[in-house]
Chain A
Amino acid sequence: MAEPLLKVSGLEVHFPIRSAFLRRRVGTVRAVDGVDLEVARGETLALVGESGCGKTTTGKAILRLIDSTAGSIRFGGEEIAHHGTSALAPFRRRMQIVFQDPYASLNPRMTVGGILAAPFDIHRIGHAGDRAERISTLLRTVGLPADAARRYPHEFSGGQRQRIGIARALALEPELIIGDEPVSALDVSIQAQVINLMKRLQAERGLAYILISHNLAVVSHVADRVAVMYLGRVVETAPREQLFFHARHPYTQALLSAVPEPVPGRSRSRQVLQGDVPSPAKPPSGCHFHPRCPIAQPRCAEETPRSRIIAPNHAVACHMVSA
């Protein structure tokens, strides 16, 4: 099998907690605590989990917007986890990001044209003459009129701004786009439009997506494969149908049972988890989920479960689950 477009192994992002006095290190926030994932060309991997599970941090670490503290990130076969700014430059063109907040992700003092010209200016693509052409092409691609280039972001609605953000991400013709909750801040009806746009673009350009979301309904529409995260670790990865209908990890099962709009065809039995999500600064030992897990055994507190393949393309990190 060909090497996947993106292969992440053992990714860790730990933030030190420093005291105000002399800035001594008094603890660590383990935002990402050993994440493995893969994305093949043209496929959509959804990364789901509750707020604070580390999915956004994972996305940013993959893009090298923040530095990882351990682990490997291989893009197109090349290890980029330790690349410096100049080594990363060509990769900036190959992977991009769309942000959650349509209001904060566009520079309020730049025209849309300026925002869209930036990628070309930064990478010195084309010349001043054909900028206008490129910009209007991009606008057309995301369904916005060409005269939008002269306007400022605040003149557009949330959905339109997300389109601009997508256009910006497309400018450099990347192979992978990470969508960090790209539709969470939008009205439900607009969400569908933006998602459909993203699907169309994927079909046209063979884009791979990592879709970070806490909204399983959206995920069920677009994802090819789904990875579920809990407290900095991936607990289950499976193709969409498999995950929604045959989830094996107790956390995934609980998560799915809580979805208000049921995935059609699945029987609902609500599993309520006890306790609160622990703090990523003090994660439980062994399997992070064991304090709240309905089927936990003593082994779960002692040993961190490794991710094991239990069915084709279906990996679970749980001691209690066997193939």
Chain B
Amino acid sequence: MIGFVAWRLLQAIPLLIGVSLIGFGLMQLAPGGPLAVYTLNPTIQVQDIERIKVIFGLDQPVYVQYVKWASGLFSGNWGYTFFGGRPVLDVILERVPATLLLMGSALSVAIVLGLSIGVLGAVKRYSVFDVLATTGALFALSFPTFWFGLMAIFVFAIQLRWLPSGGMWELGDEGNILALLEHLVLPTLVLALVITATWSRYSRSAFLEVMQQDFMRTARAKGVPPAARLLRHAFPNAAKPLIALLGVELPFLFSGALVTETIFGWPGMGRLFVDALNMKEYPVLMGMMMFTAIFVVLGNLLADIAIAAIDPRVRLR
């Protein structure tokens, strides 16, 4: 097992390097380079720009810049914001908890709901419930998250006034857990919609595949009650592709979070991203690209390790 973990860690390294290369490449794409913001300011003169270049190390060849930037990534120096000169990593980390809260609750809701629907559909295949569920899932998948969010705000916040229409706290009321939960409900449900749909489809097909295997029939012949059959026999086997799905879905989760946060004014990374975009805060943008990508790599790594923990065959390879 340790060997497997080490091997997977080793495999993750080229991925991280690749990610950093692409991130760096993207940065170079910015029109006017990373200095665009400064060139827009009329009071800054050419000599100043040259000096800024040296300060930022931009006068050096590209690969040197890359090495410096990449080693900065490793050591936690992710650069400084253009406006205000704050360390980018701090700025990002400030927002991470809010996003993780949102993503976490949405994922929990989606997994619980999606699994239940999917499993129920698999167990009672072709029943009315199943047909409705699968059709419903397809519908739900097609809903643009941001429009669903707008509609949810419209119905629940504006028309019905049951829930707040945005933000994480009410002004002056920070720390009130109840208020937090109130604010969390709508964004969570909106973000969870598409993920639930995907999960219900995947868990249905994963369970169907497992349930048709011979060992399930043996369990039934042995008289194992249905609930136990599901939990102890079917579930661990179906879990494998589902855990893999978790890893794969991670980028989508981030994308969805960005969208949801924008609609609901949720002060997380997604909002930060859009704000940074509008202000042309390239260091922050790049920092977030890298953060999410690294998060995804690590997430997939954990998923693979979890799968190996469950399924000994994977470890033998």
Whether A and B touch (Cβ < 8 Å) is answered with yes
Is A1 interfacial (CB-CB < 8 Å)? Answer: no
Q: Which of A14-58 contact B (CB under 8 A)?
A: 20-21
Tally of contact residues, B, Cβ under 8 A: 2
B7: which A residues are within 8 A, CB to CB? Answer: 21
Total contacts A to B, CB within 8 angstroms? 3
- Least CB separation from B3: chain A residue: A21
Residues of B with C-beta under 8 A to A20: 317
A20 to B3, CA, bound (A): 14
A20: nearest chain-B partner, CB-CB? B317
**CA A127 to CA B317, docked complex, whole Å:** 54
- Cβ of A21: which chain B residues have Cβ within 8 Å of it? 7, 317
Across the two chains, which residue of chain A brings its CB closest to B4?
A21
- Chain A residue with Cβ nearest B316: A20
Interface residues of B in 155-198 (CB under 8 A from A): none
Give, as a whole number of angstroms, the nearest-CB distance from A242 to chain B.
51
Q: Which residues of chain A are near B317, meaning CB under 8 Å?
A: 20-21
Measured between C-beta atoms, what is the minimum distance from B311 to chain A in Å? 15
- Report the bound CA distance from A21 to B314 in whole Å: 12
CA of A21 to CA of B315 in the docked complex: distance in angstroms? 11
Chain B 1-34, CB within 8 Å of chain A: the 1/0 string?
Answer: 0000001000000000000000000000000000
List which A228-283 residues lie within 8 A (CB) of chain B. Answer: none
CB distance from B283 to the nearest CB of A (A): 39
A76 to B307, CA, bound (A): 57
Nearest residue, chain B, Cβ from A22: B7
Separation in Å of the B316 CB from the closest CB of chain A? 9
Q: Which residue of A lies closest to B317 (CB)?
A: A20
Alpha-carbon separation in the docked complex, A20 to B7 (Å):
12
- Binary contact readout B298-317 vs A (1 if CB under 8 angstroms, 0 otherwise): 00000000000000000001
Complex Cα distance, B317 from A20, in Å, reads 6
- A20 and B314 CA atoms in complex are apart in Å by 11
User: Would you give the shortest CB distance from A17 to chain B, in whole angstroms?
Assistant: 14
Q: Which partner residue on chain A sits nearest B7 by CB separation?
A: A21
A269 to B125, CA, bound (A): 58
Give A76-135 interface residues, CB cut-off 8 Å to B.
none
A100 to B317, CA, bound (A): 34
How far is the CB of A26 from the nearest CB of chain B, in Å?
13
Question: Please, how many angstroms separate the alpha-carbon atoms of A20 and B313 in the complex?
Answer: 13
Chain A nearest CB, measured from B13 CB (Å): 15
Determine the residue in chain B with the shortest Cβ distance to A19: B317
A20 to B315, CA, bound (A): 11
CB distance from A23 to the nearest CB of B (A): 12
Least CB distance, B101 to chain A, in whole angstroms: 40
A24 CB, nearest partner CB in chain B, Å:
13
In the bound assembly, the distance between CA atoms of A183 and B133 in angstroms comes to 50
Give a binary string over A171-189; 1 marks a CB under 8 Å from any B CB, 0 the rest: 0000000000000000000
Complexed CA–CA distance, A21 and B3 (Å): 11
Q: Please give the distance in Å from B208's CB to the nearest CB on chain A.
A: 29
Q: How far is the CB of A295 from chain B (nearest CB, A)?
A: 43
Instruction: Report the Cα distance A11→B7, complex, angstroms.
Output: 39
Q: Provide the bound-state CA to CA distance between A21 and B7, in Å.
A: 9
A21–B317 Cα distance when bound, in Å, is 7
Complex Cα gap A20–B316 (Å)? 9
Alpha-carbon distance between A256 and B136 when the two chains are bound, in angstroms: 65
**Per-residue interface assignment for chain A, residues 149 to 182, with 1 indicating a CB less than 8 Å from any chain B CB and 0 otherwise:** 0000000000000000000000000000000000
**Distance from B280 Cβ to chain A, minimum over Cβ atoms (Å):** 46
What is the CB-to-nearest-CB distance from A19 to chain B, in angstroms, rounded to a whole number?
9
Alpha-carbon distance A237/B148, docked complex (angstroms): 77
Query: B72-111: contact bitstring with A at CB < 8 Å (1 yes, 0 no)?
Result: 0000000000000000000000000000000000000000
Q: C-beta contact mask, A134-146 vs B, less than 8 Å → 1, else 0? A: 0000000000000
Instruction: Report the separation of the CA atoms of residues A20 and B4 in the bound assembly, to the nearest whole angstrom.
Output: 12
CB distance from B307 to the nearest CB of A (A): 16
B197-227 Cβ-contact flags toward A at 8 Å (1 or 0): 0000000000000000000000000000000
* Minimum distance in angstroms from B3 CB to a CB of chain A: 9
Assembled-state Cα–Cα distance A162/B317 (Å): 41
**CA of A96 to CA of B244 in the docked complex: distance in angstroms?**
46
Q: Distance in Å from the Cβ of A22 to the closest Cβ of chain B?
A: 9
CA distance A121 to B173 in the complex (A): 78
| Nearest CB on A from B21, distance (A) | 24
Give the distance in Å from the alpha carbon of A92 to the alpha carbon of B133 in the complex. Answer: 57
Smallest beta-carbon distance B51→chain A, Å: 50
CA gap between A264 and B317 in the complex, in Å:
54
Residue-by-residue, is A52-74 near B (CB-CB < 8 Å gives 1, otherwise 0)? 00000000000000000000000
Q: Bound complex: CA of A273 vs CA of B7, how far in Å?
A: 47
B308: min CB distance to chain A, Å = 14
Least CB distance from A79 to B in Å reads 41
Closest 3 CB pairs of A and B: A20-B317, A21-B317, A21-B7
**Cβ contacts A to B, 3 pairs, < 8 Å:** A20-B317, A21-B7, A21-B317
